[in-house]
Chain A
Amino acid sequence: MLNQLGYYSLIFGLLFSVLAILQSIRPVVNKSNLISKNIYFSIFLQFLFVILSFTFLTSSFVTSDFSNLTVFNNSHTEKPLFYKISGVWGNHEGSLLLWLLVLTLFILIFVITSKKFDNKYRLLTIFFQEIIIFGFFLFIILTSNPFTYLYPVPSQGLGLNPILQDPALAIHPPILYIGYVGTSLVFSSALASTINKNINSGWAKHIKKWVLTSWIFLTIGIMLGSIWAYYELGWGGFWFWDPVENVSLMPWFCLTALIHTLLVLEKRNQLKNWSIILAISTFSLSMSGTFLVRSGILNSIHTFANDPARGLFILVFLFLLVVSAILIFFLYSKDENKNINWFSKDALIIINNWFMMYFLSVVFIGTVYPIFLEVLANEKISVGPPFYQKLIIPFLIPFLLTMILSTRLRWVKDNIYKINIKQISIFTLMSLLTIYFLNISDKNYLFASILISSSFFLFFNSLNDFLKKNIKLSQKISHLAFSCLILSILLNGIFSSEINTNMKEGDQINFEKKIIKFKTINFEKENNYKLLRGNFELVRPGKNILSFYPEIRVYDQPKISTSEADIKTDLFSDNFIVFSLLNDEGVFNVRYQNKPFMIWIWISSIVLAIGGFFAIVRK
């Protein structure tokens, strides 16, 4: 019953999206540019039907209705309610429905909030957005219907993957999708304003809100994913340069560049074409990300169930979108006269973009190059952390230094002597000294210490900026948070220490003046899994003793065993113990890690997003 209702809601939604496409393009073609009441009506109904369909799927999950194939594959009667609900979007079909829900919600919000803009621009934006929505409707109905009927009805489901039963991961996908979907609106709006030729500071102000919203959600989404990887997947790492992680990072770089470019557009009415190019690329990157993840073309820990048919659909759809975007851009955009002084805030923003595009290209090339090489030369290579670190880290130093300058320069043109020459010379001297000292020892630490010095430099400068009145609050917050983020990532990377050893119950080992004791091991039984709980003690000189209870879980449905780390967090460092069974004779592989400033990575990411929030709220 719920199956049919959900499916027909989707069909009705599809019909209204077709209606909205026709209603939005007709007034543009016959040049009346009138927005009729009907178009509001269609967009509202389309949203209503998607929400209905989503509700039906959710209730199927909550009531464990196994006549639905998606529910059967991804749920189980014994799952807690929270994970039954998160199971709705924890699979391919349901996550697409959620995606569609956000898409239709966003276009509704756009229609309501954009009344002061001219009609042709609004109609065209609705038109492009509705085409994307139409594509998604087709995609769901044709290749990934979440309401497939299953008969005979099984009495029990296959269960949600236990690794995915986690609070951070339950809310990570929706938040990331909101970020992705936001970029689609930026894309449609950019194309519409290219045709309508209303790319000016008014448009910049208006689209900035959407850009910032996507950026905030993307930032938080990426952070949640990496928190999950930190305590669930990884053995202490939080960023693996895994293709799926990279795919979410690419639109982030693009959006960050776009936020800064829009500032120039808003203040100086410059860089119009560049803003449009960035808007188009952001969305294309989000979509190709989806393609790469969903088609199973990548070898990654996070891949969904593979289905080439789905990959083909997204590929063709994306290709049509990108080609038409390029066509529209070349047909309607005009060459613009740029006049930007090389020593001004504007110039620094361009330099910021330059670096962002470089980081983007490194991540993009690193991610897709193995696919290309395999197709064209039949060679298989792996591109992993060393590649990204080697190409990105050296460029961070000049990047951080230009960031320091950014708050110190005025728009249009500034006087070079205004810069505190002393400060710069101190920094140069400092770097030279560091080079001198470290050249003798190890070349790898040369970079590290210059980097740390530059990020400290940026950190204190951003702190100092808080006292100034002429800088926007959002910028103060975000830049401080960013410097804090870079700093904590670097310090964490360099000063992390770990020991990886084999222990039996009752063993103890010494590690860097600390003692790790493996006290006991207990066998316990929980609702849907059995577990081995270890009790470890960490004795640190001059500090309190920490007790750890890491677990090895063996789940019943499906049969998977996982290691649950126990992490003790304080302001300065995380202590992390995880263990796994090595063989039947009671020997365990125990890994202890001390990771300094771990919590600051999360705190600064959140503050970074808060900075974006202030940019939306305050003028």
Chain B
Amino acid sequence: MKRKIIFILCIFLTIFVFLSFFMGLDKDNVYKPIKIIDNKILNFKGDDLYSNKILDLNNIVDTKFILINIWASWCSPCRSEHKYILQLKKNQQLSIIGLNYKDKVQNAKNFILELGNPYDFIIKDKSGTISIELGAYGVPETFIVNTETKKVIYKYIGPIDKEIKSEIEKIIRS
């Protein structure tokens, strides 16, 4: 009798282990950060790309939403998303802040000259520490902050395309 119980337990344990493995096969092991939208109050300071003055996020914008876009001149997907950011600039409700990630100042300025400037302000992130404090992974990456609640309400990793652009517009309108 005891032997039978142990036997059944063994079989069940095996089935359980293999079933979990089986279900694990479908899971993606690349990290998906959608779940963590940081709900803490967000504020950061940094040097302006052009004037080198220290900018404080709290004091420079008065719109309801801020879009923070992390970019760099050496990042080729940033080129492809740039035109969508330019289109987003048309929204009155939105201030757009560029965070220039680990870039050379001259290259960054050339990039803007070439493709146009959608940003209200560009803040330099030479060491990459500001983007880590934002909870970012790399370039390009985009956050939307609600200035009334001081919370990150949207986050997207990767270059913005047409769909993402309209999604962002929907969020701003609501």
Direct contact of A and B (CB under 8 A): yes
A380 to B36, CA, bound (A): 12
A300-344 at interface with B (beta carbon < 8 Å) = 308, 311-312, 315, 318-319, 322-323, 326, 330, 335
**For residue A303, which residue of chain B has the nearest CB?**
B29
Indicate whether B112 reaches chain A with its CB closer than 8 angstroms: no
**For residue A299, which residue of chain B has the nearest CB?**
B29
Other-chain contact of A308, B6, B17, B26 (Cβ < 8 Å): B26
Query: Is B24 in contact with A374, judged by CB distance below 8 angstroms?
Result: yes
**For residue B21, which residue of chain A has the nearest CB?**
A315
**For residue A582, which residue of chain B has the nearest CB?**
B102
Indicate whether A397 reaches chain B with its CB closer than 8 angstroms: no
Query: Is A323 in contact with B14, judged by CB distance below 8 angstroms?
Result: yes
Indicate whether B27 reaches chain A with its CB closer than 8 angstroms: yes
Indicate whether A295 reaches chain B with its CB closer than 8 angstroms: yes
Query: Is A371 in contact with B22, judged by CB distance below 8 angstroms?
Result: no
B-chain residues with CB within 8 Å of residue A330 when the two chains form the complex: 3, 6-7, 10
**Chain B contact residues: over half helix, strand or loop, or mixed?**
helix
A296 to B25, CA, bound (A): 8
Closest CB in chain B relative to A287 CB, distance in Å: 12
**For residue B22, which residue of chain A has the nearest CB?**
A315
B8-24 at interface with A (beta carbon < 8 Å) = 10-11, 14, 17-18, 20-24
Indicate whether B165 reaches chain A with its CB closer than 8 angstroms: no
Closest CB in chain A relative to B34 CB, distance in Å: 12
Given contacts A296-B29, A315-B18, contact A323 B24 (CB under 8 A): no
Other-chain contact of B14, A295, A322, A371 (Cβ < 8 Å): A322
A319 to B14, CA, bound (A): 8
Indicate whether B104 reaches chain A with its CB closer than 8 angstroms: yes
A308 to B25, CA, bound (A): 6
A-chain residues with CB within 8 Å of residue B10 when the two chains form the complex: 326, 330
Indicate whether A347 reaches chain B with its CB closer than 8 angstroms: no
Indicate whether A351 reaches chain B with its CB closer than 8 angstroms: no
Other-chain contact of B23, A296, A318, A323, A375 (Cβ < 8 Å): A375
A379-428 at interface with B (beta carbon < 8 Å) = 380
Indicate whether A599 reaches chain B with its CB closer than 8 angstroms: no
- Which of A291, A296, A318, A371 gathers most chain B CB within 10 Å? A371
Indicate whether A376 reaches chain B with its CB closer than 8 angstroms: yes
Other-chain contact of A326, B7, B20, B25, B30 (Cβ < 8 Å): B7
Closest CB in chain B relative to A377 CB, distance in Å: 11
Closest CB in chain A relative to B21 CB, distance in Å: 6
A-chain residues with CB within 8 Å of residue B26 when the two chains form the complex: 308
The count of residues in chain A whose C-beta lies closer than 8 Å to any C-beta of chain B is 27
Other-chain contact of A375, B6, B14, B24, B31 (Cβ < 8 Å): B24
Query: Is B7 in contact with A371, judged by CB distance below 8 angstroms?
Result: no
Query: Is A315 in contact with B14, judged by CB distance below 8 angstroms?
Result: no
Q: What string of 1s and 0s marks CB contacts (under 8 Å) between B32-73 and chain A?
A: 000000000000000000000000000000000000000000
A291 to B17, CA, bound (A): 13
Query: Is A371 in contact with B104, judged by CB distance below 8 angstroms?
Result: no
**For residue B31, which residue of chain A has the nearest CB?**
A380
A-chain residues with CB within 8 Å of residue B7 when the two chains form the complex: 326, 330
Query: Is B24 in contact with A297, judged by CB distance below 8 angstroms?
Result: yes
Given contacts A371-B20, A372-B20, contact A295 B25 (CB under 8 A): yes
A62 to B24, CA, bound (A): 38
A480 to B102, CA, bound (A): 52
Other-chain contact of B27, A312, A368, A375, A583 (Cβ < 8 Å): A375
A-chain residues with CB within 8 Å of residue B3 when the two chains form the complex: 330, 335
How many contacting A-B pairs (Cβ < 8 A)?
A: 54
B-chain residues with CB within 8 Å of residue A296 when the two chains form the complex: 29
A322 to B17, CA, bound (A): 11
Closest CB in chain A relative to B119 CB, distance in Å: 23
Query: Is A371 in contact with B11, judged by CB distance below 8 angstroms?
Result: no
Indicate whether A298 reaches chain B with its CB closer than 8 angstroms: yes
Given contacts A319-B14, A323-B14, A326-B10, contact A375 B29 (CB under 8 A): no
Q: What string of 1s and 0s marks CB contacts (under 8 Å) between B95-130 and chain A?
A: 000000010100000000000000000000000000
**For residue A585, which residue of chain B has the nearest CB?**
B104
A372 to B22, CA, bound (A): 10
A315 to B23, CA, bound (A): 11
B-chain residues with CB within 8 Å of residue A298 when the two chains form the complex: 29
Indicate whether A584 reaches chain B with its CB closer than 8 angstroms: yes
B-chain residues with CB within 8 Å of residue A295 when the two chains form the complex: 25
B-chain residues with CB within 8 Å of residue A583 when the two chains form the complex: 102
Query: Is A371 in contact with B31, judged by CB distance below 8 angstroms?
Result: no
Query: Is A371 in contact with B18, judged by CB distance below 8 angstroms?
Result: no
Query: Is A326 in contact with B18, judged by CB distance below 8 angstroms?
Result: no
B-chain residues with CB within 8 Å of residue A311 when the two chains form the complex: 25
B-chain residues with CB within 8 Å of residue A584 when the two chains form the complex: 104
Given contacts A308-B26, A330-B3, contact A323 B11 (CB under 8 A): yes
Query: Is A297 in contact with B29, judged by CB distance below 8 angstroms?
Result: yes
A-chain residues with CB within 8 Å of residue B17 when the two chains form the complex: 368
A374 to B20, CA, bound (A): 9
A-chain residues with CB within 8 Å of residue B21 when the two chains form the complex: 288, 291, 297, 315, 371
A326 to B24, CA, bound (A): 24
Closest CB in chain A relative to B57 CB, distance in Å: 26
B-chain residues with CB within 8 Å of residue A308 when the two chains form the complex: 25-26
A374 to B21, CA, bound (A): 11
**For residue B14, which residue of chain A has the nearest CB?**
A322
A376 to B19, CA, bound (A): 11
A308 to B23, CA, bound (A): 11
Given contacts A326-B7, A584-B104, contact A374 B27 (CB under 8 A): yes
Q: What string of 1s and 0s marks CB contacts (under 8 Å) between A223-246 and chain B?
A: 000000000000000000000000
Given contacts A298-B29, A315-B25, A326-B10, contact A376 B20 (CB under 8 A): yes
A319 to B25, CA, bound (A): 15
**For residue B27, which residue of chain A has the nearest CB?**
A374
**For residue B23, which residue of chain A has the nearest CB?**
A375
**For residue A319, which residue of chain B has the nearest CB?**
B18
A-chain residues with CB within 8 Å of residue B102 when the two chains form the complex: 583
**For residue A379, which residue of chain B has the nearest CB?**
B35
A323 to B7, CA, bound (A): 11
A601 to B34, CA, bound (A): 44
Closest CB in chain A relative to B101 CB, distance in Å: 12
B-chain residues with CB within 8 Å of residue A374 when the two chains form the complex: 24, 27
A291 to B21, CA, bound (A): 9
Q: List 24 A-B contacts (CB under 8 A).
A: A291-B21, A295-B25, A297-B21, A297-B24, A297-B27, A297-B29, A299-B29, A299-B30, A308-B25, A308-B26, A311-B25, A312-B22, A315-B21, A315-B22, A319-B14, A322-B18, A323-B14, A326-B10, A368-B17, A372-B24, A374-B24, A375-B24, A583-B102, A584-B104
14 more contacts with CB within 8 A, not counting A380-B31, A584-B104, are A297-B25, A298-B29, A308-B26, A311-B25, A315-B21, A326-B14, A330-B3, A330-B6, A330-B10, A371-B27, A372-B24, A375-B23, A376-B20, A583-B102
- Please report B residues at the A interface, Cβ cutoff 8 Å: 3, 6-7, 10-11, 14, 17-18, 20-27, 29-31, 102, 104
Q: When A and B form their complex, which 8 residue pairs have the shortest distance between CB atoms, in order from nearest?
A: A375-B23, A299-B29, A330-B7, A371-B24, A319-B18, A375-B20, A372-B20, A308-B25
